[in-house]
Amino acid sequence: MTIASALLGLWTFWDVAEAYPSMYTCDFACMSGLVPGAAWGKGMGVANLEATAGANCAITTDIPAGGYVAGNAYTVTITSTIALGYILASDVAGFAGTDRKTVGSMVTSSPHEWTATTATSAKFSALCGAGGAIRKVYVADLVTVNAAPPPTTVSLAPGETYAPTTTVITTTLKATTVTTTTVTAANTGGYKNSVELVAGLTMKTNVDDAAKTIEIAVISDRNSWVGVGFSSGTAVSMIGQDLYACTNGAVNRYWVTSKSAPSGGTPVVGSSCAFVNGKTTMTFSRPQAAAGANTVAITPGTSQVVI
């Protein structure tokens, strides 16, 4: 048997079985160059690729919007409205060390595990098709995903070590009418309660008992990152802190689980973080009550550990 007759036999089998993408040896570079509506001529009785794919050949992933992390496994799924055979390819060899997966049976959905590498981005392409009574081949829209940015690091001055000062304070706060105040390093007069945590670091608050919220401003005399953490216990410890930190011009909220620089925080809506007139000021507003398992309530009028 010649090579040509062998290939013809393979394509004829796809045509009879209606779906055998594994018979088409096309990698990501090949598949990403396919144009919807262009001539096909690879058998199955299909002369041209379909002009649009839409839901007939779609790629989805569970990679979060923030990006993938190298070494983590994710699911890349091909779906179609009718049962088809599939080829899924990537420019990054994350499918158990290969760059493509094939499905030779007729299905409407096919999930595949993909392990992220150190590549800064990854692209996925797919073909969905069948011969027999269907005789159609679709090209999926190209999907691009990106690596998650590296964790934010805190820069320390030469000789400076990461050793946060811990202070136990008792706050006696009174309900006030919250007013809209533009807070800068030179203007924190809108806050009714104030306590100096350490020399050069002050926390100011406004409490709204009706809305059950609290406004907080933390002001430092230095041009540096600023953080304040709240604990539900009486022990002085970094572990189990509901931490708010002002770094790189943004305020993020962290749940501290180890004695290391925090990472992977959640942006705090409506907050501010700025160095103005020689002072770093962080402002944010939050509910007095805890918002979940990894948050700590602030209870005005009680003794509470603040770090």
pLDDT of residue 181: 33
The domain limits of the chain are 3-146, 167-306
pLDDT per residue as tens digits for the range 8-33: 333 333 343 444 555 677 788 888 88
Identify the CATH number of the domain defined by range 3-146: 2.60.40.1930
Q: Supply 301's token pair.
A: 């009028």
Tell me whether residue 3 is exposed, middle or buried, using C-beta atoms within 10 angstroms of its C-beta: 0 to 12, 13 to 18, 19 or more. Answer: exposed
Residue 193 near residue 209 (C-beta atoms within 8 A): no
pLDDT of residue 58: 95
pLDDT of residue 152: 62
pLDDT of residue 142: 92
Mean pLDDT, rounded, of the chain? 78
- Whether the per-residue pLDDT at 77 is higher than 80: the answer is yes
pLDDT per residue as tens digits for the range 99-115: 989 888 889 999 999 99
Residue 116 near residue 71 (C-beta atoms within 8 A): yes
- Whether the per-residue pLDDT at 256 is higher than 90: the answer is no
- The better pLDDT of the pair 138, 299 is held by 138
- Whether the per-residue pLDDT at 307 is higher than 70: the answer is yes
> Residue 146's pLDDT band (boundaries 50, 70, 90)?
very high
Question: CA torsion angle for 116, 117, 120, 124 (degrees, to 10)?
Answer: -50
Residue 42 near residue 36 (C-beta atoms within 8 A): no
Average pLDDT, integer, range 88-102: 91
- Whether the per-residue pLDDT at 278 is higher than 70: the answer is yes
pLDDT per residue as tens digits for the range 26-59: 788 888 888 899 987 776 778 899 999 899 999 9
- Whether the per-residue pLDDT at 214 is higher than 60: the answer is yes
**Long-range interactions of 173-176: CB distance < 8 A, separation 24+:** 173/205, 173/207, 173/214, 173/300, 173/301, 174/207, 174/300, 175/207, 175/208, 175/209, 175/210, 176/206, 176/207, 176/208
pLDDT of residue 180: 33
> Residue 157's pLDDT band (boundaries 50, 70, 90)?
low
User: In percent, how much of the chain has pLDDT > 70?
Assistant: 80
Beta-bridge partner residues of 201? 198, 220
* Nearest to 59, CA basis, from 97, 92, 90: 90
Q: Supply 29's token pair.
A: 């570079």
**97 Cβ partners below 8 Å, 6+ apart?**
none
- Whether the per-residue pLDDT at 242 is higher than 60: the answer is yes
pLDDT of residue 301: 77
